[in-house]
Amino acid sequence: KTHVSGLCLISKGGKTTLQNSLNKMVLNNDALSKKDKSKVFAVDSDSLLRLHSDVETIKKVLSFRLEGNETMAKVIERPVIKESYEKLIKSYDGWRIIVLSSDLALLEYLGISDIAVLLPSNTLFKEILKSVEPESEKERINDDRILLAEQSENKYTSYNSIEHLEDIVSANFRLKKVQIIRSQI
């Protein structure tokens, strides 16, 4: 049976790095066969949108985002993301799927009930903001962080670094990094 979990992180909070790291991990359970140990797949909600083949729909979403009309962008993208998500679930039947997003409501819309909210510590958040321009983007990310804490009813886990984030997620999902061993020829 496919088990789906959602991870909600703020924009610039390490989603892409975490996704790449998760896709190099396996289930850490010695009772599983080698074949089953490889059945972990992480995907972010942006990728689910891009998986959709209708380029015009994607252009509409991006156009509304550029105009600052997030509501219309979500109205158009949510059904598209859901359709891609449902195809993904069918394609990866029996896998452990982890969906990453900055939008808690989207994860809930997809019907994911196992959702963890992860927010950077205050110290890490200050570091993240140093690399963000313009000022309006910093304000948006800060607002998103506050909103996410409120939406999760302050039931979130704080992390101090990307490595700490990876450690938290791998421990909670019982995952371990894959050791790549090259045979000597």
Query: Tens place of pLDDT for every residue, the chain, 185 residues?
Result: 788 999 999 999 989 889 888 888 766 554 444 554 557 889 999 889 888 768 898 899 999 999 989 999 999 999 999 999 999 999 888 888 999 999 999 999 999 999 999 999 999 999 999 998 888 889 989 999 999 999 998 899 999 999 999 999 988 887 876 554 444 44
Closest CA to 49 of 88, 13, 15: 88
CA 9 to chain centroid: 7
pTM summary value: 0.85
Q: d(Cα 41, Cα 43) in Å, to the nearest integer?
A: 7
Burial level of 39, CB count in 10 A (0-12/13-18/19+)? middle
Q: d(Cα 129, Cα 73) in Å, to the nearest integer?
A: 25
Q: What is the pLDDT of residue 164?
A: 94
Asked whether the beta carbons of 26 and 117 are under 8 A apart, the reply is no
Q: d(Cα 89, Cα 117) in Å, to the nearest integer?
A: 22
